[in-house]
Structure 1
């Protein structure tokens, strides 16, 4: 009988703006000159870089000595293999939690916010010091955990792509997307549009919210605890061959929205990460609906607050 593997902490972060500037310009002086010519100061990005590095250092020092360790950059997530015994710690803005969620299958996620004055902390709820307090109790289930619904897109050849906020289907450039849409209620309509957006209750505060606001539909979006999805056709074009009547709705668990491509090439990507995408050739179909997987987001610990933060509670 094989021994149970020790818990592995996987710390997820992304390159800071300072690192990106240095990568582009080579030296600090060149980066400083570039910013100064545009009325900006390099101290802005240096402060953010310092805050991120400090948070990473605190998290690293707090990891239990008997845990295994791993670290991955956001750009490498698609190539990283997560294991069932992992505890995932994201250090960065809320979007980083969404970026990692689609690669997980039940592993708990602790979101660390290195800059509370800059990032809202909707998903990244803890400071590095707070995370240091609760990490040991995560594998034992002694932390408050909130399960958030996800969306999954499945091609007719079996390929899948999941998202925590939303899935987008459309042309990879600004050309029109042409497809036959089949709504969850069976309605069918041929479209020429700027693509289709399918979002969760978590994503209803982002891209979907902006679309709903323009249409006066904000009250119809699912809440963070909802298991159904919302969908929108963006900028549908009326013509003798394409319609504009079937352009928004909800997808309940067990239902799906289907698109059959009538463009030479459409892409499907999730949570704004365009590099990790699926491709639909002419005639291929993609089905989009609630995912059986959910994000297991750590939201509280008695030693920190005595109760779960607003919106977070233990879910069965």
Structure 2
């Protein structure tokens, strides 16, 4: 089985590799970790297992067509072609990070260590790849569509999110902004706003609902306390730690966002306001004074082969 379509293999460095980069040598890394009373063996086992699976996947892909290996750090700048087939080898977070830089290309997600990773977004092992790729090429694959959020600013910039968007301060300070939703508007001061997709609704969003329930002493938003569907044509926003004062209100702190009811936020922060997605703080949009961001469901959807 060979194909003219490019096969993109997306990976990220293992923890062992990152430790070596941080401390210069594996010896130094091992000394530091063991000095803290932690076992270094777990990092070595994890690294060895990943490279074994990586070698297996890469060998098969090279026998199947043109292969481009891509580290996660290059995702924001890499230009994918419409007919690329993307294979992700790593944890769930890497799949989410990859999907938001695509425009509907099929993603085959491989779990390198099923005994270690839950793999909600990793339905396959390396041994499944030959049959899965054959189905993708024959257009026989089953897939899940994943709704994404999109923030678009009045500066012409935009950013997609597979899990969630964060709008607020770059550091641990208060965010100041105006919020408009469902025909209402108010000024707010908070530690930021989270806008969640269905896929992200069992992550950061769920923890915020749980925190609110603990404070209230009763379950809140019971219908979505355990998340909502990945392909839901809506998002939910929630404001973190809204502060009531003479200049800031706390009425618009939670709501459902869709194409007819977008969320619009306008910054009142002189500096350090940001919009980032899926926990990638280094890939952000400016949200300083005067910047207005409209947030709603994106027309682009993720396509995960299952």
- The TM tier, using the shorter chain, reads over 0.9
1:286 counterpart = 2:298: no
Secondary structure (helix, strand or coil) at the match of 2:159 reads strand
Q: Deviations over 1:20-40 (max 9, x none)?
A: 111111222211110111111
- What is the match of residue 311 of structure 1? none
Q: What does 1:165-184 correspond to in 2, within 5 Å?
A: 165-183=163-181
Q: 2:215 maps to what in 1? A: none
Displacement of 1:80 in angstroms is 1.1
Aligned pairs (5 A) from 1:70-219: 70-183=68-181, 185-215=182-212, 216-219=220-223
DSSP-derived class of the 2:232 partner = coil
Farther-moved stretch of structure 1 (219-228 vs 249-258): 219-228
Question: How much has 1:64 moved relative to structure 2?
Answer: 6.0
1:228-272 CA-to-partner distances (Å, cap 9, x unmatched) read 101011100110110111100111234310000000131111100
Bigger mean CA deviation after superposition, 200-209 or 53-62: 53-62
- SS state of the match for residue 65, structure 1? helix
Counterpart residue number, 2:239: 233
Q: How far apart, CA to CA, are the structure 2 residues paired with 1:267 and 1:139?
A: 40
Taking structure 2 as the reference length, the TM-score comes to 0.93
- For residue 79 of structure 1, give the secondary structure of its aligned residue in structure 2: coil
Deviation by residue 1:31-70 (Cα, 9 ceiling, x = unmatched): 1110111111211011111121122112112226352111
In the alignment, which residue of structure 1 is the partner of 2:21? 23
Cα shift readout 1:135-190 (whole Å, capped 9, x = no counterpart): 1321332111111100000001221100100111111011100000001x111111
SS of 2:63's equivalent?
coil
Q: Given that residues 190 and 243 in structure 2 are in contact (C-alpha distance below 8 angstroms), is that contact kept between their aligned partners in structure 1?
A: yes
- Note if 1:62 corresponds to 2:60: yes
User: How many pairs align?
Assistant: 294
Confirm or deny that 1:246 pairs with 2:244: no
- Report runs of 4+ in structure 1 exceeding 6 Å deviation: none
Equivalents in 1 of 2:305, 2:261: separation in Å?
A: 28
Q: Is the 8 A contact 1:222 1:230 kept in 2?
A: no
1:209-233 per-residue CA deviation (whole Å, 9 max, x = no partner) reads 1011122325234322312101011
Distance of 1:151 and 1:259 partners within structure 2: 15
Task: Tell me the SS of whatever aligns to 2:75.
Answer: helix
State the alpha-carbon separation in 2 of the partners of residues 293 and 124 from structure 1: 21
Q: Is the 8 A contact 2:151 2:160 kept in 1?
A: yes
Q: Report the Cα distance in structure 2 between the residues aligned to 1:115 and 1:20, rounded to whole angstroms.
A: 18
Considering only aligned residues, what root-mean-square deviation do their CA atoms show, in Å? 1.4
